[in-house]
Amino acid sequence: MSEGKGYRGPKGTYDVYPGGREPHERPELWAFVESVARERFRRYNYQEMRLPVFEEAQLFIRSVGEASDIVRKEMFLFQDKAGRELALRPEGTAGAVRAYVEHNLFKQAQPLKLWYYGPMFRHERQQKGRYRQHTQLGVEVLGSSDPLVDVEVISLLYDLHQAIGVREEVVYLNNLGDMETRRAYVPELRAFLEENRSELDPDSVARLDANPLRTFDSKDPNTQSLLDEAPTIGEFLSEEASAHLGTVREGLETLGVPYEIDERLVRGLDYYTMTVFEAKSAALGAQDTVGAGGRYNGLISTLGGPDLGGIGFGTGVERILLAAASRDAAASTRAFFVTLTPEARMLAFGLAAALRAEGVSCDLDYADRSAKGQFKQADRVGADFAVILGEDELQDGVCKLRDMKSGEERTVSVSDGGKDLLRAVAN
RNA sequence: GUGAUCGUAGCUCAGUUGGCAGAGCAUCGGGUUGUGGUCCCGAAGGUCGCGGGUUCGAGCCCCGUCGGUCACCCCA
């Protein structure tokens, strides 16, 4: 299949199609998620934004961070014909903030509460819940540093997941502090790690200089047990950061969002400050983060805007569907036309058009099926009614209307362009 | 990028010491010259991922390659 004949989707991608096996391959589940998400965003008063799927590569390098894995090894990079360095977006925040600054949206009433939805691209080896093209629902609240905004964003994430049916979800919360906190904490952590350098795994040693906070991401057991002894950021939080965290916790408790403080929670994107959070589901595999985000109080000014705060989350739709209890959506069509003679097909087609024009879903056979086959198809598409047109019916200007559930049939006139049929089929 | 494992019909999978490529489900038709969801019968559907090699002979053994899955790394 890989050579000569037959194409496959690119490595690390998947298709959504009728009969798809995995939850994220089933169109009806996507439609469900999309409708729930839109409804939640409406309730919380978020407005939609639509952004390009590629941007100048430099935008991501500056915002996500040169040292981050996303920038260092996971971006799809390409040049356009004029030689511009572009990248398929690996995440949504950079583009949203770029648009916010570019269109002077900070001049509107603040904060601006935004949501977006679309594909993200990362050049990674795929595994359960991880694809090279995946889809994120995201929100950004720009122009406020109010801790209650943090509460709203986190609770919206949780609410959204619960409305869709994510199982065994826990939100992990941490505060990475402001610059003051980091200036005090990072040297202490680095000193501790240097002292114990010989006990660290190679990846952690490599991270020591660039970003010692990331050592906490290590899954190496030795490193993890060593980190039990490490100084924690909680001891170093500035008064402001500490108060901020306190308000966020109080807010989450007020709203009943289940969360746990995890002082080892750091994030792989460099723009985060203060509040960071990850929603995990035990129903997933090793990639158990179903949604995550945090505050980025320096990002707007870094990208050329005013010194305003922002916070957002991204949540992966594929992982939501994987973590949610699977559901079955029954097919549903109001009426299926069964034609028993070729002469009836054009009449059926006209009647179908008349019903469709009035909002009634209906269909007919395009596969030259036998009568039996057409009834079988009617059953398969979940038709409530079969509209039967044979020689006798044509002669009398009627159809037989069969209730597929009860099997009862009655005769309905079709000589009036379908008005009687519409009445009989409508509910 | 690293490792393990798997690629046979649309789907789920059998396939013996290397010897004519199979089943169930799904599809189409027939049993019911015009009636589905149960049942019975039948048909159609494959370059056994791809390319080399060994052999009289390869789905099976060897090498390579592409892809899936899972894990590491990292993240949604």
For A163-212, write each residue's pLDDT tens digit.
999 999 999 999 998 877 877 888 888 888 888 888 887 777 777 777 78
Q: According to the model, what pLDDT value does residue A1 have?
A: 38
Residue A398 has pLDDT above 80, yes or no: yes
Percent of chain A residues past pLDDT 90, beyond the cut: 72
Range with top average pLDDT, A85-94, A189-198, A270-279: A85-94
Nucleotide nearest the Cα atom of A120 (by C1'): B76
Nearest protein residue, CA measured to C1' of B69: A127
| Residue in the structure block whose two tokens are 């009655």 | A410
**Strand B proximal to A159 Cβ, under 7 A:** no
Residue A100 has pLDDT above 60, yes or no: yes
| Cα–Cα distance, A277 to A116 (Å, whole number) | 19
Q: According to the model, what pLDDT value does residue A2 have?
A: 37
Average pLDDT over residues A53-57: 97
| Residue in the structure block whose two tokens are 């519409």 | A422
Average pLDDT over residues A20-46: 94
Residue A288 has pLDDT above 60, yes or no: yes
The residue that leads in pLDDT, A104 or A187, is A104
Nucleotide nearest the Cα atom of A317 (by C1'): B76
- Report which of A113, A254, A61, A252 is spatially closest to residue A174, judged by C-alpha positions: A252
- Report which of A11, A21, A35, A3 is spatially closest to residue A317, judged by C-alpha positions: A35
Nucleotide nearest the Cα atom of A278 (by C1'): B76
Percent of chain A residues past pLDDT 70, beyond the cut: 98
Average pLDDT over residues A336-341: 96
- Report which of A75, A95, A114, A136 is spatially closest to residue A291, judged by C-alpha positions: A136
Q: What average pLDDT is seen over chain A?
A: 91
Q: For domain A333-425, which architecture applies?
A: 3-Layer(aba) Sandwich (3.40)
* Domain layout of chain A by residue ranges: 23-178+238-323, 333-425
Q: What is the ipTM of this complex?
A: 0.89
Q: According to the model, what pLDDT value does residue A252 have?
A: 97
User: Which sign does the torsion angle of CA A292, A298, A302, A303 carry?
Assistant: positive
What CATH number matches the domain at A23-178+238-323, 3.40.640.10, 3.30.930.10, 3.50.50.60, 3.40.605.10? Answer: 3.30.930.10
Average pLDDT over residues A93-97: 97
CB burial of residue A382 (10 Å; 0-12, 13-18, 19+): middle
What would the pLDDT profile of A244-264 be if each residue is shown by its tens digit? 999 999 999 999 999 999 988
Q: How far is the CA of A2 from the C1' of B50 (A)?
A: 6
**Strand B proximal to A367 Cβ, under 7 A:** yes
Q: According to the model, what pLDDT value does residue A45 have?
A: 98
**Residue A291 corresponds to which tokens in the numbers above?**
């949604």
User: Which chain A residues in 373-412 sit with Cβ < 7 A of strand B?
Assistant: 373, 375-380, 386, 388, 390-393, 400, 402, 404-405, 407, 409
Residue A410 has pLDDT above 60, yes or no: yes
Nearest protein residue, CA measured to C1' of B11: A21
For residue A120, what pLDDT band results from cuts at 50, 70 and 90? very high
Nucleotide nearest the Cα atom of A14 (by C1'): B68
**Strand B proximal to A5 Cβ, under 7 A:** yes
Nucleotides of B under 7 A from a protein CB: 1-3, 7, 11-12, 27-30, 32-37, 47, 49-51, 65-76
Q: What is the DSSP string of A368-409?
A: ---HHHHHHHHHHTTEEEEEEE-HHHHHHTEEEEEETTT--E
Average pLDDT over residues A201-230: 78
Q: According to the model, what pLDDT value does residue A4 have?
A: 38
Q: According to the model, what pLDDT value does residue A356 have?
A: 96
**Strand B proximal to A270 Cβ, under 7 A:** no
**Strand B proximal to A66 Cβ, under 7 A:** no
User: Which chain A residues in 180-219 sit with Cβ < 7 A of strand B?
Assistant: 203, 207, 214, 217-219
Residue A3 has pLDDT above 60, yes or no: no
For residue A19, what pLDDT band results from cuts at 50, 70 and 90? confident
